[in-house]
Structure 1
Amino acid sequence: MSLRLLFALSALAVAPLALAAPAELAVTVKGTKGEPVADAVVSLIPLDGAAIPPPVTAGEIAQQDQEFSTFVTVVQAGAKIVFPNRDKVQHHVYSLSKAKKFELPLYNPGQAESIVFETAGLVTLGCNIHDWMLAYIVVVPTPWFAKTNALGLATVAAPAGRYRLELWHPRLAGSVTQELTLAEADATKREFTLTLKPDRRIRRAGVTKSGGY
């Protein structure tokens, strides 16, 4: 067999792999009255021993207008999140969560410290100065995740295979799990209706003329 023929056969064998499109999961999340649910986290945990690549992007949660810029943030375990203070006042960002305990005490305007989140789990953020400030970081052991938008929609692209889907929301008691198989170059759809607890967030105090305290 000639070398030219060998190269041609090798190219044919590799071509399907190069052209293979990832599978896609489209998720719709609604409440019991049919209303769209935003900020629901969808993650896919591989069940067939697939290799999980390391995190490649960092997240950001700013303190701005005496609020956290993002109510729910999702990152892969091992990822870094930067916490810039874009206010004109100090903050004291902290977490007492088992997945990550830390604090950024008397955090001055213009500072931008970063924290690495090594362990999968839920991290609840607060501010010791501004009690109404609340945010969540969902640290997942997979790079295949998404968060629903204002329409309750999320899309996850992942390699074909078997997965455990995990669905979390800050007002959901626990989480929802489901096993599924994603086929190559195929679109899979799932719809969930959640019974959510009332929103118990502390309402923000009035801002003083000096811009806060």
Structure 2
Amino acid sequence: MAVGEYGTTNRARLTCSRALCGVVAGACVSAASAADLSFRLADPQGRMLDGAVVSLLPLRGNALPAPRPAHIEQVDKAFHPLVSVVQVGTAVDFPNNDRVRHHVFSFSSAKVFELKLYAGRPAQPVVFDKPGVVVLGCNIHDRMLAYVVVVETPWSAVAGTDGLARLRGVPAGEYTMQVWHPQRLGKPDLPARALRVAGDLSESLVVDLKQ
């Protein structure tokens, strides 16, 4: 597993050994037409970055797969998951599995909407048609909060409590890699990093969220 730094001193740096199988931004890969990638993200103190979003934007303008529907549940007066990443154009359902009604809304510039007081499943999903970060809330329960990161690519993932983000079936090619975390809300994007995908990849990244 390669170990690198992401977003340090305003640039992305990566250090790892080069091998015969080929190199992806300094990380060893095996040749394949589509790859499974995994990134373990931690801060400089070694804390795993639960909820970090990794997205890969292809540099070539080839046709992208159609977005898949998604859902964000309301359970025990909380959104699940806390952080979601969806492709532009994704229809997101907001089922309410609580016994109380919720009033889901967002005032974020990437998507302004509201689902007025309801129980069960809304009549229509919400289509997220613009890239950006959408902050969700509930007009009835102020402590309810969630984030939807809308990206212009189907190749993205959210890191779990182990800091691991997995991207499946990524076609070979050149990409721009972007990392986001809720702690970066309202701050400039972290510097992007060039990434060449030529096969399966497993890599650890150190992400400085304070820069």
User: TM-score under structure 1 normalisation?
Assistant: 0.76
Quote the residue 1:210 is aligned against: none
Tell me the distance in 2 between the aligned counterparts of 1:105 and 1:186: 45
Which stretch has the larger CA shift, 62-71 or 188-197? 188-197
Report if aligned partners of 2:115, 2:122 keep a CA contact under 8 Å in 1: no
Aligned pair partner of 1:128 in 131, 134, 139:
139
Tell me the distance in 1 between the aligned counterparts of 2:76 and 2:85: 22
2:97 maps to a residue whose letter is R
- Please show how residues 86-105 of structure 1 align to structure 2 within 5 Å: 86-105=97-116
% of aligned pairs identical?
44
Quote the residue 1:160 is aligned against: 172
Q: Cα offset for 1:175? A: 2.8
Tell me the distance in 1 between the aligned counterparts of 2:189 and 2:77: 30
Quote the residue 2:12 is aligned against: none
3-state SS of 1:142 partner: coil
3-state SS of 1:119 partner: coil
Aligned positions, number: 176
User: TM-score under structure 2 normalisation?
Assistant: 0.77
Deviating above 3 A after TM superposition, structure 1's stretches of 4 or more consecutive aligned residues are none
Q: Which has the higher strand share?
A: 2
Aligned pair partner of 1:62 in 69, 73, 77:
73
1:113-166 Cα deviation digits (max 9, x unpaired): 411111111111001111100000011110111111111011223111110001
Quote the residue 1:25 is aligned against: 37
> Rg larger in 1 or in 2?
1
3-state SS of 1:33 partner: coil
Aligned pair partner of 2:183 in 171, 174, 181:
171
Report if aligned partners of 1:29, 1:194 keep a CA contact under 8 Å in 2: no
1:51 maps to a residue whose letter is A
Report if aligned partners of 2:103, 2:117 keep a CA contact under 8 Å in 1: yes
Q: Cα offset for 1:20? A: 4.7
Quote the residue 2:121 is aligned against: 111
**Over the residues paired in the alignment, what is the CA RMSD in angstroms?**
2.0
Q: Cα offset for 1:26? A: 2.2
Report if aligned partners of 2:102, 2:140 keep a CA contact under 8 Å in 1: yes
CA gap of 1:188–1:33, structure 2 versus 1, over 3 A, is closer
Report if aligned partners of 2:32, 2:200 keep a CA contact under 8 Å in 1: no
Pairing 1:181–2:192 present: no
2:120 maps to a residue whose letter is G
Pairing 1:195–2:183 present: no
Report if aligned partners of 1:24, 1:182 keep a CA contact under 8 Å in 2: no
Structure 1: give runs of 5+ residues left out of the alignment.
1-18, 198-213
Tell me the distance in 2 between the aligned counterparts of 1:100 and 1:72: 15
Q: Which has the higher helix share?
A: 1
Tell me the distance in 1 between the aligned counterparts of 2:61 and 2:127: 25
Report if aligned partners of 1:44, 1:144 keep a CA contact under 8 Å in 2: yes
